[in-house]
Amino acid sequence: MITDPAIQTGFDVLSVRQQFPILNREVKGKPLVYLDNAATSQKPQVVIDALVDYYTRFNANIHRGIHTLAEEATAAYEATRDKTRDFIGASAREEIIFTRGTTEGINLVAYAWGRQNIKAGDEVIVSAMEHHSNIVPWQVLCEEKNAVLRVIPIDDNGELIFEEFTKLLNEKTKLVSVVHASNSLGTINPVKKIIEAAHKAGALVMIDGAQSSVHLNIDVRELDCDFFAFSAHKLYGPTGVGVLYGKKHILDSMNVFQGGGEMIREVCFEKTTFNDLPYKYEAGTPNIADVIAFGAALDFIDSIGKDLVRQHEEELLHYATNRLGEIPGLHIVGKAAKKVSLVSFRVENVHPQDLGILLDNRGIAVRTGHHCTQPVMDRFGIPGTTRASFAMYNTKEEIDALIAGLEKAIKVLA
């Protein structure tokens, strides 16, 4: 019997699962229970088919060709740009830059905008719950420019301390770059409030949307963020593709990032002029196949319905939080009032890595360690956590399997 109440509201998790071929496989002789979705999600058949279709029928370099294959490839690539614009509510397709992922999007801004706009004594603000991708590029920039990196502290529940943030804002603050949803705590940050306060202080705001883009509805115009970066592979799309959104007038005014083909208008040895947006930031042959397949992922998400998925994932989060709470000696790390569907936890006297290995022996994939957020682990005084993160295809039965696996593993290890 299917016990998932989301099904009663029109969300059919079993039919969703059927669209992900990998979910049929076994690991160590057990059905795969994939709970590592915050690292990367699995891909539906339509995304896999889009990749095969591109290479089978219309593989060609884009933009410059006049032959049929080049035109078809260009049309499909550019169609993903329009779908992405709609997906995040951007005003113009020129504001959508394809990158390799969130990391590259943040580095692009730190390099192209940062090197032009940050000077000695300026301040950049990040939070204590950032992924390393949203720390290191700013650290490098600040060191190079003799600028100062400030950090918004977090409380014991893993929530940003908003008053501390407002205290950090001043006339030297040039940029605030914060994560929308934490990959190690699950916390959903009040980014609209953060953006409003930063703008009042005269600073721009970059949002790391790596985790939020898959779980929350994103409207960059409503948020009024200046930059927003995310990765296709966390959105049921392929690896190697990401998106940087930037407000058009800011992207227009910025220096270039990488130089090469496609990003130029004219090149001569005396002077090079640059292409219009978005091509100014897409030097070289891009990841054509994967951008096209990302378009298929966006269509797929649309066809399922993000609101239904959200409801299903909230059910899973609630269920997992309650069931994990029943295990003696298990402590959830990250108890924010608003969370995306992931749970990080530690178990007294048990190393997360040992737990991960024993769970893998039962076909259960979780992530263990610092999750590229070492400052979060330092804040809580722990070496790492075990993290179960949920996607649209996960079920309560899989959470039951996780709990059973944990109980067995803890008996062996504790």
* Residue 148 structure tokens: 């100062």
Question: Closer to ligand PLP at the Cβ: 377 or 406?
Answer: 377
- Considering only the stretches 130-138, 141-149, 327-335, 378-386, report the one whose residues sit in contact with ligand PLP under the rule CB under 6 A: 130-138
- Which of 80, 127, 187, 231 binds ligand PLP (CB under 6 A)? It is 231
* CB distance 359 to 366 below 8 Å: yes
SS3 annotation, 132-163: HHHCHHHHHHHHHHCCEEEEECECCCCCECHH
**In the complex, minimum distance from the CB of residue 159 to ligand PLP, in angstroms, rounded to a whole number:** 16
DSSP SS3 for 97: strand
Restricting to residues 138-197, which ones interact with ligand PLP according to CB under 6 A?
Answer: 179, 183
Question: Closer to ligand PLP at the Cβ: 70 or 140?
Answer: 140
Residues in binding contact with ligand PLP, number by CB under 6 A: 12
Site string for ligand PLP, 50-69 (x = CB under 6 A): --------------------
- Considering only the stretches 101-109, 295-303, 331-339, 383-391, report the one whose residues sit in contact with ligand PLP under the rule CB under 6 A: 101-109
Q: Does 367 help bind ligand PLP (rule: CB under 6 A)?
A: no
DSSP SS3 for 253: helix
Question: Closer to ligand PLP at the Cβ: 44 or 238?
Answer: 238
CA 236 to each of CA 42, 268, 312: distance values in angstroms, whole numbers, following the listed order: 6, 42, 16
The separation between the first and the last C-alpha atoms of the chain, rounded to the nearest angstrom, is 35
**Is residue 268 annotated as part of the catalytic site, yes or no?**
no
Q: Does 208 help bind ligand PLP (rule: CB under 6 A)?
A: yes
Question: Closer to ligand PLP at the Cβ: 179 or 203?
Answer: 179
- Which of 44, 101, 137, 334 binds ligand PLP (CB under 6 A)? It is 101
How many whole angstroms separate alpha carbon 18 and alpha carbon 369? 31
- Which of 131, 247, 310, 339 binds ligand PLP (CB under 6 A)? It is 131
- Which of 211, 344, 368, 389 binds ligand PLP (CB under 6 A)? It is 211
Q: Does 389 help bind ligand PLP (rule: CB under 6 A)?
A: no
* Residue 162 structure tokens: 């908003």
138 Cβ partners below 8 Å, 6+ apart? 110, 114, 124, 126, 149, 175, 177
Any idea what the Cα angle at residue 257 is, between residues 252 and 263, rounded to 5°? 70
Question: Closer to ligand PLP at the Cβ: 275 or 287?
Answer: 287
- 10 Å Cβ neighbour count for 190? 17
DSSP SS3 for 384: coil
Q: Does 84 help bind ligand PLP (rule: CB under 6 A)?
A: no
Q: Is the peptide bond before 44 cis (omega within 30 degrees of 0)?
A: no
Catalytic residues: 372
Question: Which residues form the interface with ligand PLP (CB under 6 A)?
Answer: 101-103, 131, 133-134, 179, 183, 208, 210-211, 231
